[in-house]
Amino acid sequence: MKNNTHPQYHTVIFYDAAADFKFLSGSTRSSHETMVWEDGNTYPVIRVDISSASHPFFTGKQKFLEVGGRVEKFKQRLAHKKSNT
């Protein structure tokens, strides 16, 4: 087998600043920013835009929009064209 073909896998902290939520996991990504975790060790920090703490699906704040199907859209276009002629 070839040496040095796989990326280095290490423990990092994923930090969602919007929800002030962090969790420890493994990743091949790294960062120069570090943070001390609850166990007293220092780990690199990967900042994420959204996590389960801030995603609408997981927080229960998801909005459902009733858009209608293809038939309803077709009927709307047809009615619009008939009204313009």
> Digits of tens for pLDDT over the chain (85 positions)?
688 888 889 999 999 888 888 999 999 998 899 999 999 999 999 988 877 777 666 666 666 566 667 888 888 888 888 887 6
| pLDDT (0 to 100) of residue 37 | 93
Are the C-beta atoms of residues 24 and 34 closer than 8 Å to each other?
Answer: no
> Backbone phi, then psi, for 77, in 5-degree steps?
-65, -40
Cα–Cα distance, 19 to 25 (Å, whole number) = 18
| pLDDT (0 to 100) of residue 43 | 95
pTM metric for this prediction: 0.61
Are the C-beta atoms of residues 35 and 42 closer than 8 Å to each other?
Answer: yes
